[in-house]
Structure 1
Amino acid sequence: MSPHPESSTVPGSAVAGAPPEPSRLLSDIEAAAVTLRDVARVTPLESSRWLSDRIGGPVFLKCENLQRAGSFKIRGAYVRIARLAPEVRERGVVAASAGNHAQGVALAARLLGAKATVFMPVGVPIPKEEATRGYGAEVVLEGATVDEALRAATAYAEATGAVLIHPFDHPDVIAGQATLGLEILEQCPDVATVLVPVGGGGLAAGVAAALAARGSRARVIGVQAAGAAAYPPSLAAGHPVSLESMATMADGIAVGRPGDAPFELIRRYVSDVVTVSEEALSRSLLLVLERAKLLVEPAGAAPVAALLEASLDVEPPVVAVLSGGNIDPLVLMRVLRHGMAAAGRYLSLRVRVPDQPGGLAALLTELAAADANVLDVVHERTSASLHLNEVEVALQVETRGRHHREEILKRLGKIGYPVSFS
């Protein structure tokens, strides 16, 4: 990272190679904190009793989902744009994003009086597009993926002279994200473990660098979605490695290749990078909503998902960074449904019943007796797999958890209903 504004005047520039020494890192990060004073909120650090009970020591949630524009991204975007020379800033800035970075750049540019153009993929959720426009940015829908939008943004920067504000691969962006690490140390001086979501790596690199520069011995653990985990193979190879494909609901950390600048910091200062499943992500989002009364996006729930994995050994006090809360309502509905299923509280099944009057009513009576809440019923009579004297009923049932789910299935089996799963 470099504290010098003139180093940030080249569109899309990034500094690779060996990270600066801790004293220089600290100077740069503290300068970023001064820049962000009265801009970024000092987000709350909330204790979590249910997670504390699980690991046997204090766990705190760092609520960046309550940050301005709904995520930590305003920190890095604002510092990056603020460090541009005035004559460079006048040319405007450009970014590519499907959500959080778009809103962070749009808000930062508005606060600093710069024109912002944001390329977003075609089909981006309408609330995210509208929020980006609402902060004053010009939105251009281009490409089917963020990578395609980024290529279009890069071409735009080269053609117009606008400065490309990369979401993670620039020292000034990392310095801005690193201010979150300073806040964690101020709010929890004895923190022993920090869990951070990882996509391109800017946030984890910044937080880990901040803690190391302040002399903290806390372990920083990065968390990636298993379906978009570029860091484990990259760290094993010793250099950034591109994924051939990605598949995860956590679009905020779905990045196919680590950034060069954050990779070097993560290799030096991050203790480990672990992965979590889609089921763990959705279940964690549901638990954070129910237990902590906080709405987070799937990427923001990744640290909690890691804590729920039995294989993760952490030393308390633990801080789990909830990186963002921007989630499309339609996606939220699907994720919550997935989370309820992962938690054993949502059951989709198919049951064969006699094709006679009262057959369906008898099944529903048994489910009511088992205290199962039937959400949906589909009655199917025509199928080559059915006998002439039976019908198949597709059911969606809400349960109280895994134990209750097993009780329902055991009850149906004991009565003699053939059950299969949708």
Structure 2
Amino acid sequence: MDEASADFITLDMLREARKTVRNSPLGVINTPMIPWSQTTLPLSVSCNIQIKLENLQRTGSFKIRGVANQFARRPKGGHFVTLSAGNYGKSFAYASKHFGSKGKVVMPETAPESRSILIQSFGVEVERVPTSCLINVVNRCVQDDNMTLLHSYDDLDLIAGHASLGMEVLEVVPEPDVVVVCCGGGGLLAGVAAAIKLSGCDKTRIYGVEPEGACTMYKSFTEKKPVRMDTKSIASGLAPPSAGRLPYELCQRYVAGIILVSDEEIKAAVSTLYRAGLVVEPSGSAAFAAIVNDKIPDMEGKNVVCILSGGNIGKDELAHFPD
């Protein structure tokens, strides 16, 4: 898997992965898309926006798509390890229980404790460590404990599974002008962008959105290589310690640019969405935050897609957001 490059991703591969995801026993759903104009959400730009409600997905986020494709292509009953701030870990644990696999999730200490407890409830072990130690601990599990790594964002099968979301978008908006996607390690952004571009939407502009304090893909674009950094953001799911190598390659090829939003803008976005009846976690609100703060170029009169990528936020967390 380490040798995979952007050239490995073909439209046929993505179509096959979509069939796998659609038919997965994990119950992945085709999430609804709704027009922004049919909500009470504010908008200062005159354009036609569709919102993809991946916060309603099985396990509460898009992550189950990539997990479904990963597990379909791995031996049943294996012993897997991964790194996650919560959403991937939840989907990974859900799949591990379903398929009878052993699993361990290495989580950053900054992730909400409630997510660790939820993952453990599926029978999967959790080890919480400083963000800077995530990779080292995962490598130790692989080398010393003979576990198999299922990477949470830098994996060919995972990215192909996430591409199913992009294909669903095109069923509703066949030729979008702009698509806005959150970006952490880059797996979702890479998959959606590859699906849209390889489907022939040459003129579509695809933007990734990152927190200012966890801008690994933004810095990777600047430095022309995947970079690592000490990340910190309220959007913990968008704050892995590095951009993925394969996602970086695909984003370089298919993504128009990376937009940055502040933690304050993300907090406000969560509150605005909640007031409109949409429960979306900070990581899932990044694309929305970029749009409402007029950070996406040239949207006037355009057909735009905004992906709300996850809704895993507890009442205890919501209490810390402004009314």
TM-score (norm 2): 0.91
**Offset of 1:307 from its aligned partner?**
0.7
Post-superposition Cα deviations, 1:317-344, rounded to whole Å, max 9, x if no partner, equal 111111111124332211x12xx4xxxx
Post-superposition Cα deviations, 1:181-222, rounded to whole Å, max 9, x if no partner, equal 001001221321110000110000000000011101321100
How many residues get paired? 315
Aligned to 2:44, what secondary structure does the other structure show?
A: helix
Partner of 2:210: 224
Partner of 1:320: 306
Would you say the 8 A contact 1:222–1:274 is kept in 2? yes
Q: Which protein has the larger Cα radius of gyration, Structure 1 or Structure 2? A: 1
**Offset of 1:152 from its aligned partner?**
2.0
Task: Please give the residue correspondences for 1:355-370 in structure 2 after superposition, counting only pairs within 5 Å.
Answer: none
Partner of 2:120: 133
- Which segment drifts farther, 51-60 or 273-282? 51-60
Larger relative contact order, structure 1 or 2 (CA cutoff 8 Å, min sep 6): 2
1:246 is aligned with what amino acid? T
1:303 is aligned with what amino acid? A
Rounded to whole Å, the distance in 2 between the matches of 1:306 and 1:162 is 39
Partner of 1:105: 92
Partner of 1:186: 171
Q: Which runs of 5+ in 2 are unaligned?
A: none
2:61 aligned with 1:71, yes or no?
yes
**Offset of 1:126 from its aligned partner?**
3.5
Rounded to whole Å, the distance in 2 between the matches of 1:101 and 1:202 is 11
Q: Name the CA shift for 1:218/1:68 in 2 (closer, same or farther; >3 Å).
A: same
**Offset of 1:246 from its aligned partner?**
2.5
2:218 is aligned with what amino acid? P
Rounded to whole Å, the distance in 1 between the matches of 2:57 and 2:315 is 19
Would you say the 8 A contact 1:192–1:219 is kept in 2? yes
Aligned to 1:242, what secondary structure does the other structure show?
A: coil
Q: Name the CA shift for 1:111/1:25 in 2 (closer, same or farther; >3 Å).
A: farther
Aligned to 1:20, what secondary structure does the other structure show?
A: helix
Rounded to whole Å, the distance in 2 between the matches of 1:138 and 1:106 is 6
Would you say the 8 A contact 1:95–1:150 is kept in 2? no
Would you say the 8 A contact 2:120–2:126 is kept in 1? no
Rounded to whole Å, the distance in 1 between the matches of 2:105 and 2:184 is 20
Aligned to 1:41, what secondary structure does the other structure show?
A: coil
2:286 aligned with 1:302, yes or no?
yes
Rounded to whole Å, the distance in 1 between the matches of 2:253 and 2:89 is 29
Would you say the 8 A contact 1:78–1:109 is kept in 2? no
Partner of 1:14: 2
Q: Percent identity?
A: 33
Would you say the 8 A contact 1:208–1:266 is kept in 2? yes
Task: Please give the residue correspondences for 1:172-183 in structure 2 after superposition, counting only pairs within 5 Å.
Answer: 172-183=157-168
Q: Name the CA shift for 1:102/1:150 in 2 (closer, same or farther; >3 Å).
A: farther
Rounded to whole Å, the distance in 1 between the matches of 2:209 and 2:52 is 15
Q: Name the CA shift for 1:213/1:286 in 2 (closer, same or farther; >3 Å).
A: same
Rounded to whole Å, the distance in 2 between the matches of 1:207 and 1:223 is 13
Q: Name the CA shift for 1:213/1:126 in 2 (closer, same or farther; >3 Å).
A: same
2:45 aligned with 1:55, yes or no?
yes
2:246 aligned with 1:261, yes or no?
yes
Rounded to whole Å, the distance in 1 between the matches of 2:4 and 2:42 is 39
Partner of 1:43: 31
Aligned to 2:126, what secondary structure does the other structure show?
A: strand
Would you say the 8 A contact 2:259–2:295 is kept in 1? no
Q: Name the CA shift for 1:193/1:227 in 2 (closer, same or farther; >3 Å).
A: same
2:18 aligned with 1:28, yes or no?
no
**Offset of 1:121 from its aligned partner?**
4.0
Task: Please give the residue correspondences for 1:232-247 in structure 2 after superposition, counting only pairs within 5 Å.
Answer: 232-243=218-229, 245-247=230-232
Aligned to 2:10, what secondary structure does the other structure show?
A: helix
**Offset of 1:137 from its aligned partner?**
3.4
**Offset of 1:143 from its aligned partner?**
1.7
Would you say the 8 A contact 2:43–2:292 is kept in 1? no
Rounded to whole Å, the distance in 1 between the matches of 2:109 and 2:226 is 28
Rounded to whole Å, the distance in 1 between the matches of 2:58 and 2:310 is 10
Would you say the 8 A contact 1:250–1:298 is kept in 2? yes
Partner of 2:319: 333
Would you say the 8 A contact 1:117–1:137 is kept in 2? no
Q: Name the CA shift for 1:125/1:53 in 2 (closer, same or farther; >3 Å).
A: closer
2:102 aligned with 1:151, yes or no?
no
1:109 is aligned with what amino acid? S
- Which segment drifts farther, 136-145 or 208-217? 136-145
Partner of 1:80: 70
Would you say the 8 A contact 1:99–1:129 is kept in 2? yes
Post-superposition Cα deviations, 1:89-119, rounded to whole Å, max 9, x if no partner, equal 4332111222101101111222333222223
